Amino acid sequence: MIIYRKEKTGAIIFNTKTKKIVEIEEELFSNTKIFINVMKKYNIFENNQNLKNILIVNNISNNVLSAPLKIFLSITNECNLQCLHCFNYIDKKSERLKYIDISTLKKIINICKTYGIFELKLSGGEPFLHPNFIKILKLLEKEEIMYTIYTNGSYLSEKNCSILKKLKYLKKIKVSIEGSKEINDYIRGKDSFNNVIKNCKNINSKLIEFNLTLNRYNYKLIFDLVKELNKNNLETTIDLGLIRYNNKIKKTDLVFKSKQEYIEFANYCKKNFFDLKKNKNYFACSGGYSSCAIDVYGNVFPCGMLQHEKKFIIGNINNESFNKIWNDIKMINFNICNECQNCLLFEKGCLGGCRSNAFYSTGDIKGKDPFCTFYQESLNNM
């Protein structure tokens, strides 16, 4: 399926099968000849592309984008691990385990098609623990919705991987890993490192991307991890994210403790990983701008990190229109930080940091992200 989404500033076009996406500054669809040429240039069109098979979405509204580009969808809050830094903490006594039902999922698929949302990011908990997980994947395949699976890797068995290999709209399987065996098992539990490596061998490396959450213990271990993965014939990319604050994390020793630690971390990242000249908006918050999150109950949040805080529910797809939720002023203004308004580094790429970090460390969603020193050190002199 090709989605052509009109936006205030032009259009965004996406091929859900080839996973190619292109943003154009002018709305082109009215000029068929130019449109076809541009689509061929960017490899959006496959051979024999029929112009009738294009989903045209014209839903320009108050928010910057007419709809998110991606939705983080928690399909279950159940998990077999209890990782130290995970935001998906559940109190098994007070909160029942919950799995998204197929009727809610169908509503979300309908939202994706109506508003031209490009990708569902299936997470949890551990998505493989949803009793109907394979049925969910088959439904997404049938509806030609592109999706990524976020998993801890425990259930990438030979049997499951033989199913995953046949899926056409599966973009990536993002597998969490934390660095060395020692630090990984400290965070994710005994033997989890060896299990993940063993299981990932059951699937084509190209489908896998490792997800590593940078914390004060593991940021210097990345190159050793790459060697270890290569030794196991897992030649794949590692996506680096910053550790995020949540209610649980304060009780751990994983977050950076002092200004000096943030500065050392920033200098190491600048030297070794981040090319901030190429990727100016590396630190930008996408919540309420190009992404949002939906929980197992159908509640919509600007960001999935906040999904245990009822006060950040913007609406529920079971009883409100998604368009209304996306254009709610709380969604539109979500990533504004009061303290960043006059900061020179805002425009340079910081864009105000992470709202979830701010909330869980200061109690104020509009407060300052504790990583501010890190952003300053990273972006200064760029």
Comparison of 131 and 241: residue with beta carbon closer to ligand SF4? 241
Comparison of 28 and 71: residue with beta carbon closer to ligand SF4? 71
240 near ligand SF4, rule: CB under 6 A: no
- Residues in contact with ligand SF4, shown as a per-residue x/- string from 244 to 263 under the rule CB under 6 A: x-------------------
**In terms of DSSP bridges, do strands 291-294 and 299-301 run parallel, antiparallel, or are they unpaired?**
antiparallel
375 near ligand SF4, rule: CB under 6 A: yes
- Can you read off the two tokens belonging to residue 37? 């040429």
343 near ligand SF4, rule: CB under 6 A: yes
CA 370, CA 339: separation in Å to the nearest integer? Answer: 12
355 near ligand SF4, rule: CB under 6 A: yes
Q: What angle do CA 303, 307, 311 make, to 5 degrees?
A: 95
Single-letter amino acid, residue 205:
S
Q: Which contiguous run of DSSP H or E holds residue 36?
A: helix 32-41
Q: For ligand SF4, which residue of 44, 229, 300, 340 counts as binding (CB under 6 A)?
A: 340
CA 17, CA 219: separation in Å to the nearest integer? Answer: 35
First vs last C-alpha separation in the chain: 40
- Can you read off the two tokens belonging to residue 353? 């940091």
200 near ligand SF4, rule: CB under 6 A: no
286 near ligand SF4, rule: CB under 6 A: yes
Residue carrying the six token digits 């032009």: 10
CA 170, CA 147: separation in Å to the nearest integer? Answer: 5
CA 88, CA 67: separation in Å to the nearest integer? Answer: 25
CA 251, CA 295: separation in Å to the nearest integer? Answer: 25
In the complex, least distance from residue 205 CB atom to ligand SF4, rounded to whole angstroms: 27
Cβ contact 37:43 at 8 Å: no
Q: For ligand SF4, which residue of 68, 124, 353, 370 counts as binding (CB under 6 A)?
A: 353
Comparison of 326 and 375: residue with beta carbon closer to ligand SF4? 375
CA 69, CA 290: separation in Å to the nearest integer? Answer: 5
From the CB of residue 337, how many other CB atoms can be counted at a distance below 10 Å? 23
Comparison of 44 and 379: residue with beta carbon closer to ligand SF4? 379
Q: For ligand SF4, which residue of 35, 352, 361, 377 counts as binding (CB under 6 A)?
A: 352
In the complex, least distance from residue 42 CB atom to ligand SF4, rounded to whole angstroms: 27
Q: For ligand SF4, which residue of 303, 317, 325, 331 counts as binding (CB under 6 A)?
A: 303
Comparison of 4 and 301: residue with beta carbon closer to ligand SF4? 301
Interface segment toward ligand SF4; rule CB under 6 A; list 115-123, 182-190, 198-206, 332-340: 332-340
Interface segment toward ligand SF4; rule CB under 6 A; list 30-38, 51-59, 171-179, 284-292: 284-292
Q: For ligand SF4, which residue of 75, 285, 294, 317 counts as binding (CB under 6 A)?
A: 285
Distances (CA, A) of 95 to 78, 126, 308: 11, 16, 11
Interface segment toward ligand SF4; rule CB under 6 A; list 3-11, 217-225, 230-238, 350-358: 350-358
Comparison of 154 and 291: residue with beta carbon closer to ligand SF4? 291
221 near ligand SF4, rule: CB under 6 A: no
356 near ligand SF4, rule: CB under 6 A: yes
Residues that bind ligand SF4 (rule: CB under 6 A) add up to a total of 22
Comparison of 121 and 130: residue with beta carbon closer to ligand SF4? 121
Nearest to 167 by CA among 190, 139, 187, 195: 139
Residues near 361 by beta carbon (within 8 Å), at least 6 away in sequence: 245, 367, 369, 370
**In terms of DSSP bridges, do strands 119-123 and 146-151 run parallel, antiparallel, or are they unpaired?**
parallel
Spacing of C-alpha 339 from chain mean position: 26
Q: For ligand SF4, which residue of 295, 337, 361, 370 counts as binding (CB under 6 A)?
A: 337
Sites of contact with ligand SF4 (CB under 6 A): 244, 285-287, 303, 305, 337, 339-340, 343, 345-346, 350, 352-356, 369, 372, 375-376
